[in-house]
Amino acid sequence: MKKTFKFYSLCWLISLALFNVITFITPNEMGGMSKFGGAFWVGYIFITIAFIGQLVFAFFAFRPNSLQKVFYNIPLISISYSGLVIMLVAGTACMAIPNLPNWIGIIVCFAILALNAISVIKVAFAADIVSEIDNKIKAQTQFIKLLTADAEHLLSTCKSAELKAEAKKVYEAIRYSDPISNDALADIEGQIQGEFKSFVQAINSEDLELSKSVGGGLLNLIDSRNKKCKNLK
């Protein structure tokens, strides 16, 4: 994501340079009054702060190496960008309105800056919560996902139709099992793993009767796990 941030920061730098060129290239006097009077510097300073803040928020948004986490942070970028646009409008008004009292410019610009900061913090907090939930779900579904992959591989290695039929029963039972694990299921899932290893050995030894026996016990364990999953919800 570092390359993305580099491109983003380049666009940011060009935008900031454009703002400064427009600000200082215009005539110093308009209608016989200096453009630097009133709340000009208040508007300029707050717009600059908004630019810097937006870049900081973008840095934190693009910092994760995971595309999924960056996706969760997209609202952070969009809200901070929206805040920058609003600040540009308000700050420009402060800079353009002749003899506007500094205190009015400070109150208006600071209120916009504060509300934008609060909004960004809320979005960042929400993104962290969603990311934590996503990681938790991945960890909880890992057992069934890995076991399904192993069962599918075993099915593809069967050397006879009879063995393939037994392996398919186990594969389908695992595939359609409740994907969400729970700490309370640790014991029975450990038994399932041990029984599955025995089933793999039986299939690889091409012992049909042993495969049926071990497979039947494995199916019972899987069914018991699924019932416990249902009761825990």
Segment 61-108, tens digit of pLDDT: 777 766 667 777 788 888 888 889 999 999 988 888 878 888 998 999
Q: Judge if 226 and 127 occupy the same domain.
A: no
Nearest C-alpha neighbor of 189 from the set 178, 176, 202 = 178
**Residue 223 falls within a domain, yes or no?**
yes
DSSP reduced 3-state for 33:
strand
Counted domains in the chain: 2
Q: Judge if 13 and 83 occupy the same domain.
A: yes
Q: Judge if 221 and 114 occupy the same domain.
A: no
Q: Judge if 166 and 132 occupy the same domain.
A: no
pLDDT at residue 219 greater than cutoff 70: yes
Q: Judge if 176 and 125 occupy the same domain.
A: no
Rounded mean pLDDT, 136-143: 76
Q: Judge if 99 and 176 occupy the same domain.
A: no
Tell me the average pLDDT of the chain. Answer: 85
pLDDT attached to residue 35: 61
Q: Judge if 97 and 163 occupy the same domain.
A: no
Q: Judge if 107 and 211 occupy the same domain.
A: no
The CA-based angle 109-111-114, given to 5 degrees, is 110
Lowest mean pLDDT among 34-38, 157-161, 197-201, 227-231: 34-38
**Residue 145 falls within a domain, yes or no?**
no
Please, what's the b/e burial string for 132-166 (b: 16 or more CB within 10 A of its CB; e: otherwise)?
Answer: eeeeeeeeeeebbeebbebbeebbeebeeeebbeb
With tokens 């075993």, the residue in question is: 154
**Residue 148 falls within a domain, yes or no?**
no
Q: Judge if 38 and 130 occupy the same domain.
A: yes
**Residue 203 falls within a domain, yes or no?**
yes
**Residue 29 falls within a domain, yes or no?**
yes
pLDDT band at 140 (very low <50, low <70, confident <90, very high): confident
pLDDT band at 170 (very low <50, low <70, confident <90, very high): very high
**Residue 143 falls within a domain, yes or no?**
no
Q: Judge if 165 and 120 occupy the same domain.
A: no
pLDDT attached to residue 201: 92
Helix axes 161-175, 208-232, angle to 10 degrees: 10
Range of the domain at 22: 2-136
